[in-house]
Structure 1
Amino acid sequence: MSLDAWLSLTVVLAAFPLMAFSRLGPDIILLGAVIVLLTLGVIEPSQALGGFSSTGLFTVAFMYVLVASIRETGGIDLIIRYVLGRPRGESGALARLLLPVAALSGFLNNTPIVATYIPAVLSWSRRLRLPAQRLLMPLSFASILGGTITLFGTSTNLVVHGLLLERYPDLAMGLFDIAWVGVPVAVVGLLYLMLVGPRLLPARRDVGTAFDNPREYTIEMEVDPAGPLVNRTVEEAGLRHLRELFLVEIERDGNVVSVVGPGERLKGGDRLVFAGTSDGAVELQQIRGLVPSRHGESSLEKDFKERRLVEAVVSDQCQFVGQRIRDGHFRTLYGAAVLAVCRGGERVAGNLGQVRLQPADVLLLEARPPFIERHRQSRDFLLISQLNGQARPVHEKAPLAWSILLGVVALASFGVMSMMNAAMLGAALALITGCCSVGAAKRGLDTQVLLTIAASFGLGAALEASGAAAALSDLALGFAGGDPWLLLIGTYLLVALLTELVTNNAAAVITFPVVMASAESLGVSPMPFVVAVMFAASASFLTPIGYQTNLMVHGPGGYRFSDFLRVGGWLNVLTAAVALPLIPLIWPF
């Protein structure tokens, strides 16, 4: 190998232990590796920056905007309520999550599927009181396994099939031909994730929980008379098993239902009094059919998509001290609605509107962003801080947001336009139709994932341009000699290794001509080797940079590099043990 090839291999291999044991993020480490290779002259500036113009990078970015539109319209709650539900334990939760994801990934691009599920799983895990780390990595792996069921389950399958048709036009494959191997691989892989995976997955405490707000609020919401919760029972409305929330009482037409049973039917205009934390208040905002109680006149118009949840501590100089919230016209003066009150770290008994404010009371407010700047220095409040998340989704546009996402997937799946063009069109429609604001779109972009993807392309370019990837291919395939079985195993192992270092498409494209030439020299059918390349390129379980869905769950799940090695390593071995014996049975040498 040339000096550039050795330098490329050294830098790439050095990046892996750094990501495994360093506190630096993968984006910083990979960007540093690209800078080193650029400084050493191994790659040109155009190659180092090539990832920033990659269609894959922009596809993921536009998909984040589409997911933000689903979140802003409350569509995430639909997944939790009707697909994920409320399983009894972790095994049931994994089954409810992994089986639909794997099935969908066989027919739809797995990037939008994982992107849509991530925020839903994060919220769902909080409700179930399960660490998100126990669910997000299996989510990514299930989407990868499902993509091996059909020919268009992953872009890699389509790329390899296109290369096959260019070389052997008469060896075209059917849409479900690879299902003979893909289905057993997916079934065995899913069983591993559900039965063995939980023993290997991390169960670390979320970093954010160390700073959780322990205050308990009195939170009051009202049943929208035109909403879907009217005439539903408390159980049917999903208000029975809310995380960190307890339905204390219902005020209806001046009467109070103090002992609320699961069969109590809700009526339009009912005021529901909850005891719970600020996180619980955020969860209530996501439920379609609940609105903040109307105390006094309101200066807030219905367009609430830019509202935020804000905590404010009442000062002793506040003019509302000693007054009831209902009589004080709080909304009119401040342009903010009081959702909850906390006093001395505990909830205040009784109806929210009857609470008389006292100094040091903590108010949970629904307000527009200007409220914070306007009143941060106000003498009425001692402290103002914004909570994470939007106040209330625009539920009315949830069907439109879902329609846009499904339209994007359909356009890409049927070849009407590329995935990037479809995602770009969908993101533009989400912004134009108001399903997602520009601010929400910016907040929805995960810059760490995007930078990691871009840097990965730079490293891949270094391995290809320097000849390191080709040298590895020739070396590994040389060990096969004249045995087609050894060639098949060598092909699978080589591609599975390269797919962890470069993109799965690049790994397949680099090895395809070498593998085909080796098969021809042995005088055997190329088909088992073609299928082996497909499955090995999709076996991206060892590292977070092996596949873009792994990158997408890496940050939200708080995973370490070693977590992927521990869980994905055994999954790699298992899928290889299933695929390698089956491939020659379906496509003989």
Structure 2
Amino acid sequence: MKIIVIISILLLLGLLIYNKHKPHILFALVGIFYFLIGYIDYKEYFIGFTNSALITLVLLMVASIAIEKTSFIDYCSKKIFSKSYKLSILKLGLISCFFSAFLNNTAVVASLMGVIKQNKFHSASKLLMPLSFFALAGGTLTLIGTSTNMVVNSFVIENKLESLKMFDFFIVGLGICIAITVVLMFFSFLLPDYKNDFDEIKDYIINTKVVSGSSLINKSVKENKLKQLQYLFLVEIKRKNRIISPVSNDEIILEDDELIFSGDIQYISILSNFNGLKLCENVELNKLNLVEVVISNQSSLIGKSVKEVSFRAKFDAAIICYKRANESIKKIGECVICAGDSLILSVGSDFASRDNKGKNFHIISKMYNPKFNTKQSFIILSSFVSVILLNVFNCIDIVKGLLLLLMFYIGAKYINIDEIRRRIPLDIIIIIGSSLAITRVLISSGVAADFANLIVNTFGVFGNYGALVGVYLMTLLLTELITNNAAAALSFPIAYSSALSLGLSPYPFIFIVAYAASASFMTPFGYQTNLMVSSAGNYKFMDFVKIGWIASIAYSLVVLIVTPMVFKF
């Protein structure tokens, strides 16, 4: 049994690192495998899906639909920026950490990205990465600040321990927020200073096609004055299966040629001066209605090519430009969609009413981001805060409180059933439910104890604190390689077994796992908000590494010093 469990866990870890399959599918397959071969029974497998922490997480994510539509974040965001960069960073940190403590991190980042890109004082690349880091730090302040904390709490409850409280995370989390703020203020020179996309959107690729009857046909590039455009540059010509690049002035334009331009999309209308030149998806250049979006990590489009998802029919929108990190995609139709990709869409009149856009996109443009008025926003926020406070003072169970709150939001028409259906976090539900079953197998088979003994024997020479550091480093490595929730799911049984083998309180080890699983600063892939800002800020991979390692060290020092002081062995 032990050999099969070890092989299956190593295979799961390898596939998670390979990142070609969705984590919730992999966790589900391993859980089902254990069920089918008899390592767990029917009740043990499915009881994880009724875990109270999981139910709380789902209710919170659904209730947050209404909170995200309040005008409070927009109001606060207008007060952030000034000529002083460090003051702007400080205010950005205060606002984003506060909201991230109680709201979904991706929603906070999505709400502030547009404001950052439109600010007139500082380039977006100097602010978007800090925004993601602040959202990550703010999530460590409370139990509901990030799904990772709720995932860890689900394991706590499953192992018959006392559930974690709302503000158990606060003291260490506050230290984290302060540390990240200091790093970003004093090491901001390591952040790239790319041209602000709002002022000048460079290096976008624009695909056009020469249609029948065009005045460009049978004339050279020079005669058509295609290389005399001030803001756009003719990069290449696609002719059937042939690519012409670089393009000479003497090249003759033929019917059905695809002309690929690079440059500032704000001046795309210049191309309308050329008769018979249309965007590749047959969009009339003089009827452009542009919206910028980022692909959500919950999108059903991920892993599929633009062509196979029938993008235009699905969303009543044509992709004008497609960016991944700092790279512009030339062959849009063949591109396989990834979370965090940045798209500029030319949208039709039906785009606003499509009910599938909310799950697939974070809309950076404010065009389709309606907000509640001040009175409605106050009612929504005050009712949410009331439920949280009633739970903190043990006046109401959090699940019952959130159910009542959700019924109120639906009754007041702040959210509707379609929105709830789209926002049910099916991937997180499957990961948590399946990982609880996997955890039982890891513990019952003795594999978790073996890994725990390895950590204790390796780091235990430094005492109990050494074992704690070992668990932290293991989880930190995993969260940089795989998703934060998956890292927490794999690390928890090992951390729990380590505490038991040493005869210590499990809580320092439990909190170490929670904090370490959220400590993803050095890559754009380790955390969903890093992915979101990656394309929008034109960041390269090394941009994250340059400042991310300093943020990671500062974060780790706070966690490793303060956690054992707050949660005694």
Q: TM-score, normalization: structure 1?
A: 0.51
The match for 1:191 is 182
The match for 2:77 is 80
Instruction: Answer yes or no: is the 8 Å Cα contact 1:73–1:401 preserved in 2.
Output: yes
Describe the shift of the 1:201–1:156 C-alpha distance in structure 2 as closer, same or farther (beyond 3 A).
Answer: farther
Instruction: Answer yes or no: is the 8 Å Cα contact 1:491–1:532 preserved in 2.
Output: yes
Question: 1-side partners of 2:115 and 2:56: how far apart?
Answer: 26
Equivalent AA in structure 1 for residue 124 of structure 2: L
Describe the shift of the 1:556–1:457 C-alpha distance in structure 2 as closer, same or farther (beyond 3 A).
Answer: farther
Q: Does 1:406 align with 2:400?
A: no
Instruction: Answer yes or no: is the 8 Å Cα contact 2:23–2:486 preserved in 1.
Output: no
Instruction: Answer yes or no: is the 8 Å Cα contact 1:66–1:426 preserved in 2.
Output: yes
| Aligned positions of 1:328-343 closer than 5 A | none
The match for 2:465 is 488
The match for 1:58 is 55
Equivalent AA in structure 2 for residue 5 of structure 1: V
The match for 2:301 is none
Match of residue 397, structure 1, among 361, 369, 376: 376
The match for 2:452 is 473
Instruction: Answer yes or no: is the 8 Å Cα contact 1:11–1:37 preserved in 2.
Output: no
Describe the shift of the 1:197–1:99 C-alpha distance in structure 2 as closer, same or farther (beyond 3 A).
Answer: same
Instruction: Answer yes or no: is the 8 Å Cα contact 2:71–2:372 preserved in 1.
Output: yes
Equivalent AA in structure 2 for residue 478 of structure 1: N
Question: 2-side partners of 1:426 and 1:117: how far apart?
Answer: 21
Instruction: Answer yes or no: is the 8 Å Cα contact 1:404–1:429 preserved in 2.
Output: no
The match for 2:12 is 12
Query: CA offsets, 1:142-198, max 9 Å, x none?
Result: 1245459x9xx96799999999x999xxxxx9x89994x665554324333555589
Instruction: Answer yes or no: is the 8 Å Cα contact 1:492–1:536 preserved in 2.
Output: no
Match of residue 134, structure 1, among 107, 113, 129: 129
Question: 1-side partners of 2:84 and 2:425: how far apart?
Answer: 30
Match of residue 427, structure 1, among 394, 398, 406: 406
* 1:433 Cα deviation from its structure 2 partner: 0.8
Describe the shift of the 1:6–1:113 C-alpha distance in structure 2 as closer, same or farther (beyond 3 A).
Answer: closer
The match for 2:332 is none
| Aligned positions of 1:256-295 closer than 5 A | 278=289
Q: Does 1:124 align with 2:120?
A: no
| Aligned positions of 1:99-248 closer than 5 A | 99-102=94-97, 110=101, 112=103, 114=105, 117-128=108-119, 130=124, 134-135=129-130, 137-147=132-142, 179=171, 184-193=175-184, 195-196=186-187, 199=190
Query: CA offsets, 1:465-506, max 9 Å, x none?
Result: 43322221122223456x5x4331222322553585867599
Describe the shift of the 1:369–1:203 C-alpha distance in structure 2 as closer, same or farther (beyond 3 A).
Answer: same
Instruction: Answer yes or no: is the 8 Å Cα contact 1:15–1:30 preserved in 2.
Output: no
Question: 1-side partners of 2:429 and 2:467: how far apart?
Answer: 33
Instruction: Answer yes or no: is the 8 Å Cα contact 1:101–1:146 preserved in 2.
Output: no
**Secondary structure, aligned partner of 1:112:** coil
Question: 2-side partners of 1:156 and 1:447: how far apart?
Answer: 14
Question: 2-side partners of 1:516 and 1:310: how far apart?
Answer: 56
Describe the shift of the 1:276–1:59 C-alpha distance in structure 2 as closer, same or farther (beyond 3 A).
Answer: farther
Question: 2-side partners of 1:516 and 1:467: how far apart?
Answer: 13
Describe the shift of the 1:70–1:25 C-alpha distance in structure 2 as closer, same or farther (beyond 3 A).
Answer: same
* 1:111 Cα deviation from its structure 2 partner: 5.2
* 1:430 Cα deviation from its structure 2 partner: 0.9
Q: Structure 1 unaligned segments of length 5 or more: list them.
A: 168-172, 215-243, 245-274, 283-308, 313-361, 371-386, 520-525, 545-549
Question: 1-side partners of 2:490 and 2:467: how far apart?
Answer: 18
| Aligned positions of 1:434-449 closer than 5 A | 434-445=413-424, 447-448=426-427
Match of residue 499, structure 2, among 515, 519, 532: 515
Question: 2-side partners of 1:564 and 1:41: how far apart?
Answer: 48
Instruction: Answer yes or no: is the 8 Å Cα contact 2:69–2:372 preserved in 1.
Output: yes
Question: 2-side partners of 1:366 and 1:15: how far apart?
Answer: 39
Describe the shift of the 1:63–1:585 C-alpha distance in structure 2 as closer, same or farther (beyond 3 A).
Answer: closer
Question: 1-side partners of 2:154 and 2:347: how far apart?
Answer: 56
Describe the shift of the 1:578–1:138 C-alpha distance in structure 2 as closer, same or farther (beyond 3 A).
Answer: closer
Question: 2-side partners of 1:212 and 1:535: how far apart?
Answer: 47
Instruction: Answer yes or no: is the 8 Å Cα contact 1:43–1:462 preserved in 2.
Output: yes
Question: 1-side partners of 2:501 and 2:27: how far apart?
Answer: 33
Query: CA offsets, 1:107-156, max 9 Å, x none?
Result: xxx353636524422433443473696255314421245459x9xx9679
Describe the shift of the 1:5–1:584 C-alpha distance in structure 2 as closer, same or farther (beyond 3 A).
Answer: same
Q: Does 1:96 align with 2:91?
A: yes
* 1:514 Cα deviation from its structure 2 partner: 4.7
* 1:421 Cα deviation from its structure 2 partner: 3.3
Instruction: Answer yes or no: is the 8 Å Cα contact 1:189–1:574 preserved in 2.
Output: yes
* 1:89 Cα deviation from its structure 2 partner: 7.9
**Secondary structure, aligned partner of 2:413:** coil
* 1:536 Cα deviation from its structure 2 partner: 5.0
Describe the shift of the 1:88–1:366 C-alpha distance in structure 2 as closer, same or farther (beyond 3 A).
Answer: farther
The match for 2:65 is 68
Equivalent AA in structure 1 for residue 75 of structure 2: L
Equivalent AA in structure 2 for residue 130 of structure 1: A
The match for 2:362 is none
Describe the shift of the 1:183–1:468 C-alpha distance in structure 2 as closer, same or farther (beyond 3 A).
Answer: same
Equivalent AA in structure 1 for residue 3 of structure 2: L
Q: TM-score, normalization: structure 2?
A: 0.53
Describe the shift of the 1:193–1:422 C-alpha distance in structure 2 as closer, same or farther (beyond 3 A).
Answer: farther
Query: CA offsets, 1:417-456, max 9 Å, x none?
Result: 3443333322221111111222333344455555555555
Instruction: Answer yes or no: is the 8 Å Cα contact 2:453–2:498 preserved in 1.
Output: yes
Question: 2-side partners of 1:135 and 1:276: how far apart?
Answer: 36
Instruction: Answer yes or no: is the 8 Å Cα contact 2:519–2:555 preserved in 1.
Output: no
Instruction: Answer yes or no: is the 8 Å Cα contact 1:404–1:430 preserved in 2.
Output: no
Query: CA offsets, 1:209-235, max 9 Å, x none?
Result: 969999xxxxxxxxxxxxxxxxxxxxx
Query: CA offsets, 1:236-279, max 9 Å, x none?
Result: xxxxxxxx8xxxxxxxxxxxxxxxxxxxxxxxxxxxxxx99745
Question: 2-side partners of 1:474 and 1:439: how far apart?
Answer: 49
Describe the shift of the 1:506–1:46 C-alpha distance in structure 2 as closer, same or farther (beyond 3 A).
Answer: farther
Q: Which has the larger radius of gyration?
A: 1
Please give the root-mean-square deviation of Cα atoms over the aligned residues, in Å: 5.8
Question: 2-side partners of 1:122 and 1:188: how far apart?
Answer: 23
Describe the shift of the 1:441–1:584 C-alpha distance in structure 2 as closer, same or farther (beyond 3 A).
Answer: closer
Match of residue 463, structure 1, among 442, 450, 455: 442
Query: CA offsets, 1:344-390, max 9 Å, x none?
Result: xxxxxxxxxxxxxxxxxx998699959xxxxxxxxxxxxxxxx9975
Instruction: Answer yes or no: is the 8 Å Cα contact 1:189–1:575 preserved in 2.
Output: yes
Instruction: Answer yes or no: is the 8 Å Cα contact 1:495–1:537 preserved in 2.
Output: no
Q: Does 1:540 align with 2:504?
A: no
Describe the shift of the 1:553–1:196 C-alpha distance in structure 2 as closer, same or farther (beyond 3 A).
Answer: same
The match for 2:361 is none
Moved more, 501-510 or 466-475: 501-510
